[in-house]
Amino acid sequence: MNDADPATPGANEAEPQAGRSRAHVAIASQLRFWLILLAVTLACVYLLRGVLLPFVAGMAVAYLLDPVCDRLESWKLSRTWATTVVTICFILLCVLVLLLVIPAVVNQIATFIERAPDYLDAVQRELSKLMAMAQDRLDSNTQQRLKSALGGSADKLFTWATDVLGGIISGGVAFFNFIALLVITPVVAFYLLRDWDRMVAKADDWLPRRHQPTIRHLAHEVDETLAGFLRGQGTVCIVLAVFYAIGLTLAGLEFGLVVGLIAGFLSFIPYVGSMVGLVLSVGLALAQFDSYLSVAIVAGVFFIGQAIEGNVLTPKLVGERVGLHPVWVMFALLAGGALFGFVGVLLAVPVAAIVGVGVRFALGQYRRSAYYTGKEEPASKAPLSDADRMP
């Protein structure tokens, strides 16, 4: 018995090491499984991006309208009837917008394409006037180079805009995709909306038992972030689109409706909508008006809109709790569009919300771990601070 005693501590020390080794192997195996699943999902989205548009759009509509169905259910309506009422109202609203707005927008775009050469000449005349005013401060060679550069840039800008708008009108978006959006999207939205709670419950049942509470917490945080941004920023875009369209039309700008709608809906990308709208409207105003006062009024519409957005709309409707930085949103939208087209644009904000919540969670775990504290044991499991939640 005495000869066996010295071996006992070694055996006891080997058991925890073997346990840690098995745990590391299990973690590596799980990580490999989720990375493979992510890669397969991205590959499927990339390969099927041409047909996913109506389905992704239907999913987005269902996600945004689910709270309305829940409210109707609280009024003792069945889920099927609540879904039917909400879907019909949504379709009627879309049809009303198409009938009232789209014809005017298409007419203004067609008119703009016809008049593009005249506007180009008018802009060049205005640039010539500005060059004449700068003659006292610039030498002749510098004036000539600047005039050539501005003229070439204006020519390229109008050519690009004409090609883009002409492509949209002549079928740049495939006819099949347009029909799919009109027909398939409402059907997909209806069935997803009807079965939304059931699908959420089924997905919750598929969660790994060990990590279920953590995943539920992260999913709830993603839902709050995504819903707050989409509904808040969407409302901001609609309000700005209406304000810009009405303001520019009252200011006398010929294509005020189109420019206002473009600027308003591009406001979904922070700072982009206002800049694009300001450049377009001021350029058209310079070509249309002889008075700089009218041009200043057109520019003033955008400055007023920016003041309303920054001081009233965004703080009230979006707020700081959303946690999606404007630069991160811009990167996600551009990257999604470059990789997956319009489907990527639709998926960009949800993916940005998921990644943002995941990064904040990972940073919070890091700040509570031995890697950050320098201790052998993890720090106390205190609630995460604001710095952990919002890096």
Residues 6+ away with beta carbon under 8 Å from 229: 318, 322, 324, 329, 349, 353
319 φ, ψ to 5°? 75, 175
Would you kindly state where each structural domain of the chain is located, as residue ranges?
1-47
Residues of the chain with pLDDT under 70: 1-24, 26, 123-124, 126-180, 319-323, 376-391
Q: How far apart are CA 56 and CA 266, in angstroms?
A: 20
Show the tokens assigned to 49: 């991006």
Residues 6+ apart with CB under 8 A from 174: none
Tell if the pTM clears 0.75, that is, is over it. no
pLDDT tens digits, residue range 181-235?
A: 778 888 889 999 999 989 988 888 888 888 888 888 888 888 888 888 888 888 8
Q: What is the reported pLDDT for 347?
A: 85
pLDDT > 70 fraction of the chain, expressed in percent and rounded: 73
pLDDT for the residue 387: 44
Place of tokens 């709309």: 313
> Using CA atoms, how far apart are residues 281 and 140, in angstroms rounded to an integer?
31
